[in-house]
Chains A and B, each alone.
Chain A
Amino acid sequence: MGATDFIGAREDPSAPDVAALIPMVRRVIGARVADPTTAEDLVQETLVRVLTAAPRVEPGMLEPYAIVTARNVVTSLWRQQDRDRRNQHRVVDLSPPDAPDDDMLAREEQEAVAAALARLTDRERDTLVAHEVSGQDTRSLAEELGSTAGAVAAQLNRTRARLRVEYLLVRENVEPPTDRCRPVLLALSGGDRRRQREVDAGRHLLECEVCARLSPPLMERTQSRDDELRIPIAVDADVVAARQAARELASRLGFARTELTLIATAVSEVTRNIVRFAGAGEVVVELLDQPRAGVRITARDTGPGIPDVQAALADGYSTYNGLGLGLPGARRLMDEFAVVSESGRGTTVTMTKWCDAR
């Protein structure tokens, strides 16, 4: 079936003009796939998908929708080729057979993308489309917009981050329950750690069930960073996991063995508080390179909070088993130490050890 069949098949005058999209789809795919036969196959596949979804796509949204679809089609081809290449030596085909409801899933997916695109501002969408369609580079875009290439690139990243968030919200069919949800999800999607700290994303994920559920696919991108570890804390064994994770990550920086044990001991102390007093929380271990090499531990929980932080930081403070909270001890082991606690909301301990070894 050739591309022109689509034109002949158009009987309903109110039907969207999918045929008008063909040159643009060819351009998107042609820019990415060298082999003309393969490219034409992908153009067909894209048009079929767009046509299926067209009745549900808003007027004016068909073009960006088609672009995203074309890119997805190319990406899945690449993935397939990559899979095939890796499995070449195998006798049996390991790739799973197409599930019967694949079509339906694909359709839902496409609708979600279209709806997400519709939630962007015109300017965001235009810039994204210009960049993705004809591969217009950020410099020439910057000239058109009276901006700089760096600013355009940053804007594009923000737009993509927003698109991912909106896509998830549409797909999961949820409305964010609080004002803080969108900023948090955006910060996670953008992988901007400073922004994540500004909006206290970690704490929000502990408190907000909706965002906790939505965030994993957004975090996958940031989680792939190998200089950060996040350990959920609920039971005694997690205390050991947290202190071992901290030791292992910090050991990359050239800390001496003694310093690594100081770090692990401090982590053990603050993590125990989560298990004892809060029941659940998390420990995040990050390697820092600014202003110099170091390791930062953030232990946060959604427990009752510490009524008097100053008192808790003083030696001799005692709440269980005749032991203190371990906070004064942990503070002595680290270079920087801060406790923020709010009654009824929980506690965040942030502590840093700088690596002076280099």
Chain B
Amino acid sequence: MTGPKLVSILRQGDWLIASIHTALDDSQMLLFRNDLVEQIGRHRSRGVVIDVAALDVLDSFGANTLRTIAEMARLRGAETVIVGIQPDVAFAMVSLGMDTGDVPTALDLEEGLAYLGRPTGARSRGRRDAAG
């Protein structure tokens, strides 16, 4: 990809921090998905935080892609948490009849990392409320 980066994926120990920096179209969303899933495998990551704060909308395709990423990550042994869903985006998702399924969400990056780092014994379904 040329120009300013649309997404970035940083490795931090056992975790990957994936940030979406701008509105993505469907093809870009799929590239992001493939790239992220590939890196999870390569780094044998145990957890992934996806920061979607810069996304302008999360429509049916966007929400579905996030669910797919989480499912693929789970099959490779990594847990996914989505952070930064803006209040207006969350409201539109609810109105649209979409949600992030079983994928846990957290308010921001810090909370997302805290969620991944919680004591293993305490793992439950996780928070499913969209931020805001």
Contact = CB atoms under 8 A, between A and B. Distances in A.
A219 to B, nearest CB: 27
Interface in A239-263: 239-240, 243-244, 247, 257-258, 260-262
Contacts of B92: 258, 261-262, 264-265, 333
A272 B96 CA distance: 15
A328 interface: yes
Interface SS majority for chain A: helix
B26 A236 contact: yes
Interface in A293-345: 315, 321-324, 326, 328-330, 332-333
Given A258-B92, A261-B56, A237 B25 contact: yes
A165 B58 CA distance: 44
Given A239-B25, A247-B56, A323-B60, A333 B96 contact: yes
Contacts of A261: 56-57, 86, 88-89, 91-92
Contacts of A264: 56-57, 92
Nearest to A263: B92
Interface string B51-75: 0000011111100100000000000
A268 interface: yes
Interface string A60-102: 0000000000000000000000000000000000000000000
B56 to A, nearest CB: 6
A243 B26 contact: no
Contacts of B59: 265, 268-269, 272, 326, 329
Contacts, number: 75
B26 A239 contact: yes
Contacts of B58: 265
A315 B23 CA distance: 27
B87 interface: yes
Nearest to A236: B25
Contacts of A329: 59-60, 96-98
- Residue of B27, B88, B97 with most partner-chain A CB within 10 A: B88
B95 interface: yes
Contacts of B28: 236
A326 B91 contact: no
Nearest to A276: B26
B60 A244 contact: no
Nearest to B91: A258
A240 B23 contact: yes
Interface SS majority for chain B: helix
Nearest to B30: A236
Given A237-B25, A258-B92, A265 B97 contact: no
Interface residues of A, number: 29
A258 B87 contact: yes
B58 to A, nearest CB: 8
A276 to B, nearest CB: 9
A135 to B, nearest CB: 53
A221 to B, nearest CB: 32
B53 to A, nearest CB: 13
Contacts of A239: 25-26
B47 to A, nearest CB: 27
Nearest to B64: A323
Nearest to A257: B88
Contacts of A260: 88
A323 B61 contact: yes
A244 B22 CA distance: 12
A328 B27 contact: no
A111 B23 CA distance: 51
Nearest to B96: A329
B25 A240 contact: yes
B12 to A, nearest CB: 30
7 contacts: A236-B26, A247-B56, A265-B96, A269-B96, A323-B60, A323-B61, A329-B96
Interface of A: 236-237, 239-240, 243-244, 247, 257-258, 260-262, 264-265, 268-269, 272, 275, 315, 321-324, 326, 328-330, 332-333
